[in-house]
Amino acid sequence: MTTSTAGLHHVTAISGDAQRNADFYTRVLGLRLVKRTVNFDDPKTYHLYYGDEGGTPGSLMTFFPWAGASRGRAGVGSIGTTGLAIPPASLGWWLERLVKHGVAHRGPVSRFDERVISFDDPDGMHLELVAHPSAEGRPLWGGGPVPAQHAIHGVHNVTLWVADKAPTGGVLTDVLGFRELSSAGSTTRFVVGDGGAARIVDVRAVGGFLGAATGPGSVHHVAFRAADQAAQLAVSDVVRGAGLRVTPVQDRQYFESIYFHEPGGVLFEVATDGPGFAIDEPLAQLGEALKLPPQYESHRAEIERALPPLVVGEPLHPYEAEAT
């Protein structure tokens, strides 16, 4: 039996300083902070969500800030790069913007049917801006420093680094409903649905490369979309049928999640599309206040004392306010 997910839901990574992370993703990349909450498994650590105006599944980059932790790295059994979707006509604009903000970058280069700019965030996480027409049909956030016509339209793809691509590819096709599309060198592309932005997973065979190290700059997991809990439980059944261990459903307040490791070592999540980020604050005010799940509300004062201050929406050096 094979189930089918609807593509990518979010990518969760680890950062260092929370303020530096927020400055980069909101002021340089122009994403919206759609939720400031805590790691439900470690409530004295932020969980920050960035995305489009409403935090649409497929638009989301999320972070656990671990200030002072040793830097992590991508490696075998991890997500090596995360691609962000931009319109093809915006490629030159983004090149100028990265130069303006002192962000070292590589490219653009051609890959499959795309043009790609590669760079790292302040913690060393590998990112790409991927210019492809499929970006234009996806939501965006035009209320920040990046004009709407050049805004990022969510996640485009992730690239998994594994020793052997066959077992990982088997899970993508036989469990999650992807199909193999094409290969370029050591990378094989898998797609689901129309194969556009947020529906692409690339699997790169890196052989005996170094293993991943968890810490700032590393990606913790990638989440795939399930329309609802029934669809999620169907995936859970297929995961178990494939001989893989899967967690019980975890309530993440804004969606429900299950987790499992694919054979190459990458942690996969399957998250429901709902209920979404507007259940505890209005759409116009997303990300403005610290939101806690009910089980931690009685500990709010203690949690707030443990978390560092976080200012979003005001110009801070070196990411100055800009006219759009």
- pLDDT at position 314 is 57
- pLDDT at position 322 is 45
- pLDDT at position 315 is 53
Tokens at 17, concatenated:
């300083």
- For the chain, the average pLDDT equals 95
Whether the predicted pLDDT of 11 surpasses 70: yes
Mean local confidence (pLDDT), 208-227: 94
pLDDT band at 33; cut points 50, 70, 90: very high
**C-alpha dist (Å) from residue 310 to 80, 154, 252:** 28, 23, 22
Nearest-5° Cα angle at 14, 255 to 93: 90
How many other C-beta atoms lie within 10 A of the C-beta of residue 2? 12
Dist. CA 151–CA 146, nearest whole Å: 6
Mean local confidence (pLDDT), 88-92: 98
Q: Quickly tell me which residue has 């077992």 as its tokens.
A: 167
How many other C-beta atoms lie within 10 A of the C-beta of residue 228? 11
Q: Quickly tell me which residue has 């489009």 as its tokens.
A: 52
pLDDT band at 324; cut points 50, 70, 90: very low
Residues 6+ apart with CB under 8 A from 32: 26, 50, 51, 52, 53, 55, 141, 143, 144, 286, 287
Q: What sign does the dihedral 134-136-139-144 (CA atoms) show?
A: positive
Tens-place pLDDT, residues 253-297: 999 999 999 999 999 999 999 999 999 999 999 999 999 999 999
Tokens at 61, concatenated:
């980059």
Dist. CA 16–CA 18, nearest whole Å: 6
Q: What sign does the dihedral 159-155-249-293 (CA atoms) show?
A: positive
242 burial via Cβ count (<10 Å: 0-12, 13-18, 19+) = middle
What's the distance, CA 319 to chain centroid?
A: 22
CATH architecture of residue range(s) 8-306? Roll (3.10)
Domain boundaries, the chain: 8-306
- pLDDT at position 320 is 46
Whether the predicted pLDDT of 207 surpasses 90: no
Residues 6+ apart with CB under 8 A from 117: 91, 94, 95, 98, 105, 106, 107, 108, 128, 129
Whether the predicted pLDDT of 186 surpasses 60: yes
- 0.85 exceeded by pTM: yes
pLDDT band at 118; cut points 50, 70, 90: very high
Ranges assigned E (strand) in the chain: 8-15, 32-39, 42-51, 60-65, 78-86, 105-111, 114-120, 126-131, 155-162, 179-184, 187-191, 200-205, 219-226, 250-251, 256-261, 267-272
How many other C-beta atoms lie within 10 A of the C-beta of residue 8? 27
User: What percent of the chain stands above pLDDT 90?
Assistant: 93
